[in-house]
Amino acid sequence: MKSSHTVSKKEASQASLAVTVKAADAEGKYTETLQKYAKSIQIPGFRKGKAPLSVLENKYGESLKAEAAAEIIDACLEDIFTKFDEEKSEYRPLAYAQPQMDSVPELKIGEDFSFEIRYDIMPSVKVTDFSGITIKEPQVSVGEAELKEELKAIQERNAMVVDKKDDAKAKKDDIVTINYCELDEKGNALEDTKREGFVFTIGSGQNIYKIDNEIIGMKKGETKDITKTYDDKEEDPDLKGKTKHIRVTIDGLKERNLPELDDELAQDVHEKYKTLEDLKTDIRKNLDTALENRLRELKSNDLIEQLIEKYPIELPQSMIAAELESRWRMMAQQFQTTVEQLDKMVASSGQTKEAMLNQMSGDSEKMLKGRIIVESLLKDSDISISAEEVDAEFEKIAEGAGISLDEVKKHYADPHRKEYLIDDMKEQKLYKDLFTKVKIIKGDKLTFAALFENTAE
């Protein structure tokens, strides 16, 4: 369909597209529609397909004009948007957004046919100035304390869990099985609070009443009545500011027998280790790598947050809605259920999907804005990754994962996985360059463990 058009940007990452079709072309489409129906429509008093066009027009003219107008609009938009795609135009419409039309145009024979639509486009941003951006880099080091912590974790993973003697007393880190219930003011058990066979590790705090300290020193088979008052800072509303009377009986008591830190343990961990020192060397290397990656992540996030503030982006509502729906589907997958079942689960809990999506929206918007900025910077930087760099990354992955290079190459034989890896490498290159353009100063001193707190946020 031949047409002329003008397009312009509007607020909130929208585009306005005005299209005009010459009168002769518009009339041609109407005539084509008219002739199509003339061959098949049945009008009383005439044989099928034999009714004069004038009769058909008198009876169905307006409907046929509306259909022809719709077909003109569809054909014009397909041609224009296809051209936008081929040219990678900034005016390409977002795939998940429906164009909006304020008024439906009327096809008038002998006149040009014009219409105007609004639709959402990808937000654009041009980052050119990095002045005023200061990043604080936490000061963290990997030392003997971190090494000991990792070794302890390895010992615990390889520990033997055995029953303690009947006269042994419960102590921190023991695995205890308890029966418990709450008591009323007269010391009678409250039936609906009874529970048997509850297992947890003493000192972990992973029990309802947080009675780790109160059961230390108890023996298997021993029963104890505990009175505990909880302050107003307690997170559990059932405990906050209340006093509870709890009867506890220890039904089972186990301990972990930790293996010795020696060459034999190292060999049990992995066949590549011959001595304990080999294991320690690998642990230190992994800790250093984890530290480097975490610091880079924190600096990258800080940089992007500041760029979002420096270069405001208006996100179209369709983009936000699509991102939230995507997160909703991912949540359903995590719960191993369908979206429909997740909707029902949320509704039965007294919440609404809309309320939960509203809670997610702020984080989703920030993520989308950050992604737009990064993609814009990548486009402007023209960063490339060589085959040699990919091979080097394969070797790095193999070494870090403790697998063969062939296994890594087999994994990335999938083009999509390899493309994802290359995109990530480009992004890391980008950040490395960006860090040279901003001011990085020393931040607070933190422990290694503190640096990794709240990594899921």
Q: Does one domain contain both 340 and 205? A: no
Specify if 74 maps to a domain. yes
| Full pLDDT tens readout for the chain, 457 residues | 789 999 999 988 999 999 999 999 999 999 998 888 777 766 766 666 666 677 677 777 889 899 999 999 999 999 999 999 999 899 999 988 889 998 889 999 999 999 999 999 999 999 999 999 999 999 999 999 999 999 999 999 999 999 999 999 999 999 999 999 999 999 999 999 999 999 999 999 899 999 999 999 999 999 999 999 999 988 888 899 999 999 999 999 999 999 999 999 999 999 889 999 999 999 999 999 999 999 999 999 999 999 999 999 999 989 999 999 999 999 899 888 998 998 888 888 778 888 888 888 888 999 999 999 999 999 999 899 999 999 999 999 998 888 899 999 999 999 999 999 999 999 999 999 999 999 999 999 999 999 998 654 4
Q: Does one domain contain both 59 and 191? A: no
> Residue 242 maps to which CATH number?
3.10.50.40
Q: Does one domain contain both 322 and 446? A: yes
Residue after which a domain boundary falls, among 222, 257, 292: 257
> Residue 19 maps to which CATH number?
3.30.70.1050
Q: Does one domain contain both 203 and 169? A: yes
Q: Answer for the pair 246, 228: CB distance below 8 angstroms, yes or no.
A: yes
Q: Does one domain contain both 224 and 291? A: no
Q: Does one domain contain both 251 and 287? A: no
Spatial distance between the Cα atoms of 109 and 112, rounded to a whole number of angstroms: 8
Q: Does one domain contain both 315 and 414? A: yes
Q: Answer for the pair 107, 68: CB distance below 8 angstroms, yes or no.
A: yes
Residue after which a domain boundary falls, among 69, 99, 120: 120
pTM: 0.74
Specify if 132 maps to a domain. no
How far, in Å, are 24, 126, 222, 385, 392 from residue 407 at the CA level? 65, 41, 55, 21, 15
Q: Which helix (H) or strand (E) holds 200?
A: strand 195-201
> What range defines the domain where residue 356 resides?
265-451
Specify if 139 maps to a domain. no
Report DSSP letters for 205-263, one per residue: --STT--HHHHTT-BTT-EEEEEEE--TT-S-TTTTT-EEEEEEEEEEEEEEEPPPSSH
Q: Does one domain contain both 11 and 92? A: yes
Domain count, the chain: 3
Q: Does one domain contain both 317 and 429? A: yes
Specify if 187 maps to a domain. yes
Specify if 209 maps to a domain. yes
Residue after which a domain boundary falls, among 61, 96, 120: 120
Q: Does one domain contain both 361 and 287? A: yes
Q: Does one domain contain both 293 and 271? A: yes
Specify if 393 maps to a domain. yes
Q: Does one domain contain both 292 and 230? A: no
> Residue 286 maps to which CATH number?
1.10.3120.10
